[in-house]
Amino acid sequence: MSELVAGQSSLPPADYIYETRTLYSSLGFDVYRWAERPEPSAFVPIDKPLSECRVALVGSGGVYRAGQIAFTTADDTSIRVIATDTPTTELRTAHFAYDQTDARTDPNVVFPLDRLNELVAEGVIGALTDNAYAFMGGIYSTRRLETELVPTLLEELRADEVDLVLLVPV
**pLDDT per residue as tens digits for the range 107-119:** 999 999 999 999 9
pLDDT of residue 134: 97
**What does DSSP say about strands 54-59 and 127-128: parallel, antiparallel, or unpaired?**
parallel
Q: What is the pLDDT, as a whole number, of residue 128?
A: 98
- Whether residue 108 contacts residue 134, with contact meaning beta carbons closer than 8 Å, is answered with no
Rounded distance between C-alpha atoms, residue 147 and residue 151, angstroms: 6
How confident is the model over 123-166, as pLDDT tens digits?
Answer: 999 999 999 999 998 787 888 888 999 999 999 999 999 999 99
pLDDT of 32 reads 61
User: pTM, whole model, 2 decimals?
Assistant: 0.79
- Give the Cα separation of 132 and 137 in Å (integer): 15
pLDDT in tens, 85-100: 999 999 999 988 888 8
Helix (H, G, I), strand (E, B) or coil at 158: helix
At 27 the pLDDT is: 76
Mean pLDDT of the chain: 86
